Amino acid sequence: MLDKVIFFFFAGVAILSAGLMVTRRNAIHSAVFLITTLLATAGIFLQLRAEFIFIAQIILYVGGIMVLFVFVIMLVRLDVALHQIQFSRQKWVALLVTLALAAEVGVMLWSSRNVPGQGFLLPNAVPAGKLPPNTEALAGRLFDAYLLPFEIASVLLLVAMVGAVVMAKKRT
């Protein structure tokens, strides 16, 4: 019961502020609503007993990426762009296509709800008390089976850092 209340609270906050983020005129308002969405998603991760991802989400996304976004919004002058049209000409076509996609995925999910043995709406998870400590299990898996992807990810971050510095540098 409590699980249900927590889930619907965070899901409602996430969807509501995601919708506000897409429709707000001012980019800084969009950024603030995106932060709310990411925090609500972090709550969903906590409800799924993924404590490490919860903390990583808050520190990396909200503390790192969104601060970067807000900095760039302050660097580029948006007060000019604020008075121009915010949505492109294809918006109604785009909305129609997205609604068609939504109907498609929704029908697919709904029609698979009671496939015997693996229905999507049936809970068959391990009970929460029997889970191993999350961070320990994650670290064991990350530094054992997924060590090579981990190293590749660090190279990717290095390349991104160098690329961003080169790109934002002033041409002399």
| Residue 117 Rama label (left phi>0; alpha psi -120 to 50; beta) | left
Residue span 54-73 as binding mask against another protein, x where in contact by CB under 8 A, dash where not: --xx--xx--xx--xx--xx
Among 107, 111, 115, 137, binds another protein (CB under 8 A): 137
14's tokens: 């996430």
Residue span 8-47 as binding mask against another protein, x where in contact by CB under 8 A, dash where not: ---x--xx--xx-xx----x--xx--x--xx--x--xx--
Sequence-separated (6 or more) residues with CB below 8 Å from residue 13:
36, 37, 40, 43
Minimum distance of another protein from residue 116's CB (angstroms): 15
Minimum distance of another protein from residue 140's CB (angstroms): 8
136's tokens: 């320990």
Per CB under 8 A, does 97 bind another protein? yes
Closest CA to 20 of 42, 40, 45: 40
Per CB under 8 A, does 147 bind another protein? no
147's tokens: 């060590």
Per CB under 8 A, does 121 bind another protein? yes
